Homo-oligomer: A and B are copies of this chain.
């Protein structure tokens, strides 16, 4: 939740929970003083909470939301999220994600993997996951994306991970998943926006390469950044070395972001993220 910063807001909310029999399991808050905004994330145990699950939202609206100009989102951890993965021809991010899913690290389901190429079908098959190819061209993009969205709706997909998906999504597509499409870009944004960032990094002679996971917005590579990391390179590294070293960065940075999203620990505001620990 977020609201204009005001005295006593933490006391009000924690009081609401504890007075009604909820046991707070997690609380983290943050005040953006520059903009006067208060952010908070609270988790509590519903066992013994006297307000029925389906009425919490109603009560909360009446009692607090309007009064404190409070924007919030209420989620139940029993509700397992459904994630679609979009890939092109590279497997490293895909394997990293699927290995975590089958090991039970993440509380998530993967009903489908979508691609513009057939190459990764063999990986999908290894994990017994449906694989759908949509051959997108300049001419058929609109229909293809419509078909993709129909499939995603049919499969009740909550959010999308672009695991090195080398196709730009249309504004229309993106608008259906606001802050619910996670991309990995292979540079430390905002450096090297766009295509071939490792080539650009090599040409500029940087001593670090990076990777950035962010929510996709209609502005290319300019959405809210979730996580970034870098690795050191030297003059000895060729472009191929950068690509190779970058792969480990990309998969780890993307998986960290996906994990935070699954745990609902990311709030977005003003094209930035608040990522709770």
User: Interface of A with B (CB < 8 Å)?
Assistant: 7-8, 10-11, 14-15, 18-19, 23-24, 27, 29-30, 32-34, 90-92, 95-96, 99-100, 102-103, 105, 126-127, 188-192, 204-208, 210, 224-230, 232, 234-236, 238-239, 244, 247-248, 252, 255, 270-275, 277
9 sample A-B contacts, Cβ–Cβ < 8 Å, listed by A number = A7-B24, A8-B18, A10-B10, A33-B238, A99-B99, A105-B247, A190-B204, A190-B206, A208-B210
State whether A275 and B234 are in contact (beta carbons under 8 Å apart), knowing that A15-B15, A206-B225, A207-B225 are contacts in the complex. Answer: yes
A18 interface neighbour in B11, B90, B207, B252, Cβ under 8 Å: B11
CA distance A118 to B41 in the complex (A): 41
Does B95 lie within 8 Å of A99, measured CB to CB? yes
Contacts of A234 in B (CB 8 A): 275, 277
Copies of this chain assembled into the complex: 4
What's the nearest-Cβ distance from chain B to residue A44, in Å?
A: 10
Contacts of A247 in B (CB 8 A): 105
Does B235 lie within 8 Å of A275, measured CB to CB? yes
Contacts of A226 in B (CB 8 A): 207
Does A208 lie within 8 Å of B236, measured CB to CB? no
Contacts of A238 in B (CB 8 A): 33-34
Q: Which residue on chain B has the smallest CB distance to residue A275?
A: B235
Contacts of A92 in B (CB 8 A): 99-100, 103
CA distance A207 to B8 in the complex (A): 30
Does B18 lie within 8 Å of A14, measured CB to CB? no
